[in-house]
Amino acid sequence: MKFRHMFALFVLVTVSLSIFTSGTVMAQSTLQKVMEERGLTEKDVLAAAKTYVPTGGRDDYVVFSSGGQSGHLIVYGIPSMRILKYVAVFTPEPWQGYGFDDESKAILAQGRIMGKDITYGDTHHPAISETDGDYDGRYLFINDKANPRIGVIDLHDFETKQIVANPFFRSAHGGCFVTPNTEYVMEASQYAAPYSHDFVPLEKFNDEYRGGLTYWKFNRETGRIEAENSFTFEMPPYSQDLSDAGKGPSYGWGFNNSFCSERYVGGIGRGRPPFEAGCSSKDTDFLHITNWKKAEELVAAGKVTKVNGAYLITMEQAIQEELMYLVPEPKSPHGCDVTPDGKFIIVSGKLDSHAWVYSYEKIMQAIADKNFEGYDPYGLPIIALHDALERSVNVGLGPLHTQFDSEDGVCYTSIYVDSQITKWNYRTGKILDTIPIHYNVGHLMTMEGDSKTPDGKYLVALNKLSIDRFNPVGPLHPQNHQLIDIRGSQMQLLYDMPLPLGEPHYAVAIRADKLHPVINYRTGWNSRNDERSPHRSRAGRERTVRNGNRVDIYGTLIRSHINPEIIEVTEGDVVSIHLTNLERAQDEVHGFAMYGQNIQLSIEPGKTASATFTADKAGIYPYYCTEFCSALHLEMQGYLLVQPKGYKAAEIQIEDGTKYTKEDYEAQVATNIATQDVINQVVGFITSHNYQDFATVVALVEDATDQLGFADEVKAKSEAAAAEGDYQNAMLWANQWWQYQVKTADLGLRAKTFLEQNGAVKIK
Amino acid sequence: MKFRHMFALFVLVTVSLSIFTSGTVMAQSTLQKVMEERGLTEKDVLAAAKTYVPTGGRDDYVVFSSGGQSGHLIVYGIPSMRILKYVAVFTPEPWQGYGFDDESKAILAQGRIMGKDITYGDTHHPAISETDGDYDGRYLFINDKANPRIGVIDLHDFETKQIVANPFFRSAHGGCFVTPNTEYVMEASQYAAPYSHDFVPLEKFNDEYRGGLTYWKFNRETGRIEAENSFTFEMPPYSQDLSDAGKGPSYGWGFNNSFCSERYVGGIGRGRPPFEAGCSSKDTDFLHITNWKKAEELVAAGKVTKVNGAYLITMEQAIQEELMYLVPEPKSPHGCDVTPDGKFIIVSGKLDSHAWVYSYEKIMQAIADKNFEGYDPYGLPIIALHDALERSVNVGLGPLHTQFDSEDGVCYTSIYVDSQITKWNYRTGKILDTIPIHYNVGHLMTMEGDSKTPDGKYLVALNKLSIDRFNPVGPLHPQNHQLIDIRGSQMQLLYDMPLPLGEPHYAVAIRADKLHPVINYRTGWNSRNDERSPHRSRAGRERTVRNGNRVDIYGTLIRSHINPEIIEVTEGDVVSIHLTNLERAQDEVHGFAMYGQNIQLSIEPGKTASATFTADKAGIYPYYCTEFCSALHLEMQGYLLVQPKGYKAAEIQIEDGTKYTKEDYEAQVATNIATQDVINQVVGFITSHNYQDFATVVALVEDATDQLGFADEVKAKSEAAAAEGDYQNAMLWANQWWQYQVKTADLGLRAKTFLEQNGAVKIK
C-alpha cells in the first residue's frame, strides 16, 4: 500500500488534471481530489471507468463459473465482476429452498450414490449449450468430480432440473464439454477404478481398473439428458482429464487428454514414492481421440451392449471399429482446446513450457494411412507425435489452458508456475504479449472463448491463491478472478474479484443479450419438472385434505398473508404443505419457514412448492414468510398446531386481545379515504405522463391495480360487517382495506419516482 | 439504458475533458473515450473512482451482513463492495467443510431443535462485540429467526464456534444486539408461543402464549456464551421485535419494541381477517424497557428461579422488582436505536411517517416519579407517551431503521414505502437531505453506525427488491445493497451491489484496521473448540490404529500428497480419517473429498480435521485434494479399499505400469541439476535485493526453503536406491526430488515478480 500510494502521488504531480473543475455540480468533489485521497493512479481510474456499471446498468457478458467444492454454480457479470447469483446444483441451499422443498429433493435424489445422499459436489467445468458451435444460452451443464455426476440447469429460470450419476466412474474431472449442437455432453473419468461396484485389489490395477469417457445424450426438446441413450468409451487406467469436442472439419470427433499414463499406484504410507512422483515420470501422456459420430451409429444399429444398464463401447470394440486413437502429449497436461475453426487442438503440459498445437488434418491422415508408431498396452493405436503436431510454442513455465480471441490465430494460455497469461498466435507460433497475475492461475476464460466465434474483449484469470490481494478473512482465503482487458495490443489488468464461497475451476462467459430468463412462472408451476403442479391452489380454493394420518394442505401466498394462517394436525400425521405464490409481479417472492421442522421454501411468483414432514411431537410451530415482501411482511405469519392424539377442542373461541368500537371503525375509514386521496394524486401524476413507454412502470401499475382490486373486496366485507353492527370485524377488515391501499401507494410511489428519474414527459 | 446513454452524451459535449491525453502510456485509451464507449456520466466516473480498489489494495471497512435464509454470514468490503467470504453458521457448507468434518458437526449439533438437525438458519441481525461501547473486532453474533438460536463467530479465524438454542422461544427476530462491554447478547422473541414444548390451544393465547427477551451471558475469555448464566425476561404475547442496549447514561438498560400488541390471532382460512389486518389496527405498540443490570444482580443473589433449565424473570417478578416498563410507540415499528450518546432512543413505525425520539432522562424521571398512565393487561406499568417523548419528526412514508453519523445529532432513517433515505437531525428535528433508492429499503447501515463513536462516511441501503437493477437471472432475484457517500452535505449514490445468495436483513461495518485474523493455526489444531486436536499427526508419524471394527487413520497433507495414499479397511468398519495440514504458508489450504461417503473437508494450514463414516459396502473409493495447491495438485490422490469381510490379500505386489532404466534415472538427474541452476539464479536475484523489507517475500522464501529441504530428503532416497542398482525407485524418487524443485521454483518466481513489481532495490 505504501508503494502504491507513493506511486500515485508521483503521477499526480506530473500529470495535469483539469477534468470536472468547470463549475458543474461535481465541482467540490473533483476526480483529482478523489485520486489524491485514495491514492489512485491514472491507470487505476481508467480501470475503474472500464469496469464500473452505474445503477440500473447492465453487464455486457454473463459468466457461469464453477463453484468448486461449494457444489453451486456462480453467475457474475463482466465488466463489473459483480456476483449475481449462486445457483444450487449438488448442495442443498435454503435461500433457494433447494433440497428443502419436495420438488428439488427429487432432483437431489437423482444424484444419490449407491443409495446414499451426497450433500455436496466438487463442480469443475460448466458448459453452455451450443447451436452450430455457438453458445445459445439455453442450458448449462456442470460436473461433480468427487461423485461423478452432471447437473443440468435451465437458463430460462436458472434452476437445476436434473442430476445424472455416471454408471461406471468413481471420479470425473473431465466434464462438461458439449458437442457443437449439444447432441452430447462429454464427461471423462479421472482416477481409474473398477467399473463394477465391487472390491478389486489394487494389484489388479492394470487389468481391471479403467478410465473412460461418457457421451451423455441430451434432448433439447425436453431439456434433459437421456441416460438410456448415452454411451461410454472404455479407456485404459490412465487418469483421463479435460476434453473438447471437434467442430467444423473436426465435427464428430472428441479429444481428451490424460495424466499418469505411467499407471503408477502410489503408497507413501508403505514406503513407495507418492503418486505425484510416479504420475509424472514419463515425458508424455496420451491425447485420446474418439469418433462419437460413428459410435452413435453403432449404438443406433444395436451393435453396442449395455453394462451396468448403460451402453459401453469396450476398448476391444473401439479398436475393431476404429473409434479411438492415442497421440503422445506433453506430460501432466490440463487443457485440451480445439481452435475456433476446428482445425487444431492445443494441449499444454503443466510440467513442460510448451503449448503443443496438433493438426486435425494430420491426425486424420495418419488414421487414414494406418500410420501408427505402435500400440499401447491395451492395443490402442498410437499416432506418432511428429505425424500429428503442427508446432510447439514456448509459452512459459506451467502452461495450462488456452482460450481464443476474436482475431484469427490469437489465443491466450494460462501459465501456472510463472503466474502469467501469455498471448500468442497458434498459426505463427509468435508470442505477442505476457501479463503477470496474482497468483498461480488455473484456467482462464475469454468471452465466448471456446465457441466457434470467440468475442475476445476480456479475459478472466481464475487464480488459485489470493494471499495478499484482499482484506484478510482468516486462514481460508477467497479465490481471485482477475479481469484483463485484451482489446488492445497489450493486455491490461482491470479488476481483482474475490470469490467468497467455493473455489471455481473453469468458467464460461456468454453475451448477455443471448439470455432471456423469465420473471415468473405459469400459475401453479412445479419449476423442477416444468409441469403444472398437481398440488397447486388458487385464491379462494385453499383447502385441507385428510386421508388417514396423511394431511395435505393446499395453500396460497400473497402480500402479506399465508392462507391458511392456522393449520391443525394430530401428532403422528404425515403433513404436506403445498404453497402457491399468487403474485405475478417481478421479484415478489415469498419464503416459508417453520419452527422445528427444517422447512425453508423459496416460492417465486407462480411457483407451487411443497414441504412434507412428520408432525411427530405435539406443540406449537410458528411459520412465516422469509422474504421481505411488503411493509407488513413481519405480520405474514401463522401457526401449525400439532394436537395430541385424542385431543378434543374446547368450545371456546379465540378472544381478541383488543376490542374495537364504532368510533375506531369510523376513524379507520376516515384514514382510508385520506389515503385514497393520496393514491389518486399519484395515479393522476402517472396517467398524465407517458408511463406506457416504460415497461417497468406498466408492470408497477398492473400490480397496483391488482392491489386496489383486493382493497375493494375487503372494503365490501368491512362495510357488510358495519351494516350488521359488528364493528370488531368491520374495523379489522377496514384495516385490511388500508393495508392494500398502503401496498398500492408503495407501488405508485415507486412508479412516480421512476418516471421522474427517467425523463418521462407530460402528455396532453 | 437508452436514457442513461443520452444523458451521458449530453455531458460529454458540454464538458471539456482533457485528462490523460498528455502523451502518457495511457494516451491511446483516454478516459473520455471510455466514457463515450460505455455511456458514463462524470458522476459515474467519480463514483467509480470512489469505489474502485486496485489490485492488492485494501478496503477501509469490512461489513458483516446477515445472509438471511442462506444461514450464512456475508463479509464484504467498503468502498469496493466486493464480497470476501460467506461464513457458514447454521447451514452446512462444503467448501468450508462445515457440517462435513466431525469438529464442525459438533457445533451444528448444539443447534438441534427438539433433537432434530436443522440444516438452515434465517439469519437477521449480526452484532460485533464491543468494548466500552465501541466495536472491538473480536467476536460476532448472529441470530436465527426461524429456530431461535445464536451463532458465535470468532473473528480471529472467521469460524463459527458455538450455537445456542433459546430454551423458551419458538421464533426470535430481535437479535443480536450487545451490551456495551459484550456482557450480554440480546435476543427477543417474535411470534408468541407457550414456553413449554407442549400443545396449548390458541384459545389460550392471551393467558399462556408468551413473548420474551433473553440476555445471553457472554464470556470474553473463552469466547463462548454461557447458557447457564443467561436470563430471560418473560414478556406479554406481543410480537417483540428489535432491540438495542443503553450506553453512557443509559448503560444497564435495554430497549426493545414490538408489534401486534393487539394480540390478534388471524385465521384467514377460517373467515377471520388476516394477521396483517389485526396486528396493525391500534395506532401504537409498546417499547419495552428492561433493567438488565439490576436483573443480573437478582440472578447473582439467587433470587431468580430456573424454568426449562434457564433463569426466567417472570412478569410478576419484573413488576415487583421494578425491572420492566412500557411506553407507547408508533405502530408496527422496526428500528429501536439508541443514540451514540446514550441519551435518546429513536423508534419508527412502518405505518407512520414519523421517527419518534424518546428521552432516556424523561423515561427515568417518570419511573422515579412512578408517573404511569396505566398498566397493560399483565400489570406492566405504562409511561405516557408525552412523558417520554422528546420529539417526533416527519421523515417519510414507512420509516424503518435509523443509524448515526459522526456529526453530532445527524442520523439517517430508511424509508420503506417512499423508497428513500432521509438524513435528519434528532436534536433539532430538522430534515437535512433525502435520496431515493431502488427499491424499498429495509435496514440501513453507516460505518460503525450503532457504536458509541460512529464514523459516518458511507451508508449502505439494504434494499429488498432489485427488479430492474441487474442482468436478469430468473424469477429469484439478487438483493441490492446500495452504497451512498454521506461525507458531503448531499448524499451521493455510489454503487449497486447484488447479493447473490440469501436475503440480508441487517449489517454492521467495522474499520478494517480493527480486524487481525490469523493466516494459519498452531499445528494440529481443532479450530472449532480452539484446542490442540487429540487426532493430530505430523510428518513421519502417520499411522492407523484399529480397535475392533473401529479404525482411526492419523494422516497428513502437504504439497502434493496425502499420507496415507492407500487405506485398507474391512466392510462394516467405522472409519475415522484424521488429517493434519502440515503447511505453514499462507493460503496453502488442502481439501479432502472421497467418493460415495459424503466427505468434503477444508483443512487450512495447521488444522486437523476428521471425517467419520461407516464403510458399509466393499469397493474402491478414490479420494483427492479439492483445493488446487500446486502444479501436481491433480495427482494428490489416494484410494480407500473397503475389503469384503474375510478377505485375504494375495501375495502379489502392485506391478508398476511403467519400468525405468538407469538411463531414465540419469536423464531425470540431469533435469534436476538444470532445474537447480534455475533455482539458484532466482535465489541469487532475491538475495541480491532488499527482500527482507517485504513480509510477503520473506514468507515465500521461508516456504521455498522448506520445499528445498524436502527435495534434499528425497534426493538422498533416490541416490540410495541408485547405489543399490534399484533404478525403478531411484527414478521415482528423483522425480519426486524434481517435484519439490518445481514447487521451490514456483515460490521463487513469485517472490522475484513481487520484488520487481514493488520497487525492491539492489543491495551491495
Give the distance from residue A563's alpha carbon to the nearest chain B alpha carbon, in angstroms. Answer: 6
Residue in A closest to B746 by C-alpha: A417
Q: Do B202 and A466 touch (CB under 8 A)?
A: no
Task: Tell me the per-residue pLDDT of A650-700, one tens digit each, with 9 for 90 and over.
Answer: 777 888 899 999 999 999 999 999 999 989 999 999 999 999 999 989 999
For residues A634-647, average pLDDT:
96
Nearest to A443 by CA among A145, A287, A289, A242: A242
pLDDT for res B271: 86
Q: Which CATH number fits domain B525-643: 3.40.50.300, 2.60.40.420, 3.30.70.1350, 1.20.1630.10?
A: 2.60.40.420
- pLDDT tops 70 at residue A78: yes
Give the distance from residue A126's alpha carbon to the nearest chain B alpha carbon, in angstroms. Answer: 17
Task: Tell me the per-residue pLDDT of A293-340, one tens digit each, with 9 for 90 and over.
Answer: 999 999 999 999 999 999 999 999 999 999 999 999 999 898 899 999
Helix, strand, coil: what percent of chain B each, to 5? 25, 35, 40
Alpha carbon distance B735, B748 (integer Å):
20
HEC assignment per residue over A488-504: CCCCEEEEEEEECCCCC
Chain A residues within an 8 Å CB radius of B274: 560-561, 563, 565, 635, 736
Mutation for testing the B interface, residue in A261, A634, A728 having most B CBs under 10 Å: A634
**Mean pLDDT for chain A?**
93
pLDDT for res A29: 53
Alpha carbon distance A479, B157 (integer Å):
17
Other CB atoms within 10 Å distance of the CB of residue A233: 27
pLDDT for res B144: 98
Chain A residues within an 8 Å CB radius of B566: 202, 265-267, 269-270
Q: Where are the beta strands (DSSP E) in A627-742?
A: 637-643
Region for B725 from its dihedrals, namely left if φ exceeds 0, alpha if ψ lies in -120 to 50, beta otherwise: left
Task: Tell me the per-residue pLDDT of B49-80, one tens digit each, with 9 for 90 and over.
Answer: 999 999 999 999 999 999 999 999 999 999 99
User: Which residues in chain B come in under a pLDDT of 50?
Assistant: 1-28
Alpha carbon distance A748, A681 (integer Å):
10
Give the distance from residue B303's alpha carbon to the nearest chain A alpha carbon, in angstroms. Answer: 30
Alpha carbon distance A400, B746 (integer Å):
14
Nearest to A47 by CA among B757, B5, B20: B20
Residue in A closest to B331 by C-alpha: A632
Give the distance from residue A642's alpha carbon to the nearest chain B alpha carbon, in angstroms. Answer: 7
Residue of A440 and A594 predicted with greater confidence: A594
> What single-letter amino acid sits at A117?
D
Q: Do A650 and B201 touch (CB under 8 A)?
A: yes
Q: CATH topology of A166-266+275-394 equal to that of A532-643?
A: no
Residue in B closest to A497 by C-alpha: B82
pLDDT for res A16: 31
pLDDT for res A22: 38
Alpha carbon distance B304, B306 (integer Å):
7
Q: What is the pTM of this model?
A: 0.95
Task: Tell me the per-residue pLDDT of B92-121, one tens digit each, with 9 for 90 and over.
Answer: 999 999 999 999 999 999 999 999 999 999
The grid coordinates of residue A482 equal 482477475
Alpha carbon distance A610, A553 (integer Å):
9
Alpha carbon distance A695, A689 (integer Å):
14
Other CB atoms within 10 Å distance of the CB of residue B649: 11
pLDDT for res B411: 98
- pLDDT tops 60 at residue A24: no
Alpha carbon distance A120, A89 (integer Å):
9
Q: What burial letters (b/e) apply to B727-739, b meaning 16+ CB within 10 Å? A: bbbbbbbbbbbbb
Alpha carbon distance A426, A404 (integer Å):
10
Chain A residues within an 8 Å CB radius of B477: 586-587, 589
8 Å CB contact between B556 and B539? yes
Chain A residues within an 8 Å CB radius of B210: none
Q: Do B275 and A474 touch (CB under 8 A)?
A: no
pLDDT for res A1: 30
Contacts of A101 (CB under 8 A, 6+ apart): A601, A602, A609, A610, A611
Region for B290 from its dihedrals, namely left if φ exceeds 0, alpha if ψ lies in -120 to 50, beta otherwise: beta
8 Å CB contact between A618 and A644? yes
- DSSP assignment letter at A653: P
Residue in B closest to A192 by C-alpha: B622
- pLDDT bucket at A25, cuts 50 / 70 / 90: very low
Nearest to B171 by CA among B90, B113, B230: B113
> What single-letter amino acid sits at A474?
G
pLDDT for res B19: 38
Nearest to B254 by CA among B345, B171, B144, B351: B345
Q: Could you tell me the fold of the domain covering A166-266+275-394?
A: Methylamine Dehydrogenase; Chain H (2.130.10)
The grid coordinates of residue A185 equal 455432453
Q: Do B94 and A91 touch (CB under 8 A)?
A: yes
Which residue in B70, B261, B478 is closest to A94 by CB distance?
B70
pLDDT for res A631: 86
Alpha carbon distance A607, A207 (integer Å):
52
Which residue in A281, A472, A589 is closest to B731 by CB distance?
A281
Alpha carbon distance A185, B398 (integer Å):
52
The grid coordinates of residue B337 equal 436505536
* Domain A395-503, CATH homologous superfamily name and number: YVTN repeat-like/Quinoprotein amine dehydrogenase (2.130.10.10)
Chain A residues within an 8 Å CB radius of B55: 438, 469, 482, 493, 495-496
Provide Rg for chain A, Cα atoms.
31
* Domain B61-88+121-265+272-514, CATH homologous superfamily name and number: YVTN repeat-like/Quinoprotein amine dehydrogenase (2.130.10.10)
- pLDDT tops 50 at residue A13: no
Integer angstrom CA distances of residue B238 from A194, A496, A626, B264: 63, 48, 20, 9
Phi, psi of A43 (to 5 degrees): -60, -40
Question: Parallel, antiparallel, or unpaired: how do β-strands B399-404 and B619-624 relate?
Answer: unpaired
Alpha helices of B401-551 — where are they, by DSSP H? none
- pLDDT tops 80 at residue A287: yes
pLDDT for res A365: 98
pLDDT for res A153: 98
Alpha carbon distance B403, B417 (integer Å):
18
Contacts of A266 (CB under 8 A, 6+ apart): A272, A273, A274, A275, A276, A277, A278, A279, B561, B565, B566, B637, B638
Chain B residues within an 8 Å CB radius of A607: 475
HEC assignment per residue over A1-50: CHHHHHHHHHHHHHCCCCCCCCCCCCHHHCHHHHHHHHCCCHHHHHHHHH
The grid coordinates of residue A148 equal 461423478
Range picked from A13-17, A487-491, B645-649 for highest mean pLDDT: A487-491
Alpha carbon distance A106, A382 (integer Å):
45
Describe the strand order of the beta sheet including A637-643 as a list of residue ranges: A566-570, A637-643, A619-624, A590-594, A599-603
8 Å CB contact between B741 and A276? no
Which residue in B85, B272, B644 is closest to A473 by CB distance?
B85
Burial of A264 (0-12, 13-18, 19+ CB in 10 A): buried
Question: Is residue A326 within a helix (H) or strand (E), and if so which, with residue range?
Answer: strand A324-330
Q: Do A145 and B593 touch (CB under 8 A)?
A: yes
Q: Could you tell me the fold of the domain covering A532-643?
A: Immunoglobulin-like (2.60.40)
Q: Do A649 and B598 touch (CB under 8 A)?
A: no
Q: Do B70 and A93 touch (CB under 8 A)?
A: yes
Chain A residues within an 8 Å CB radius of B51: 48, 52
Give the residue extent of every domain in chain A.
2-46, 166-266+275-394, 395-503, 532-643, 662-757
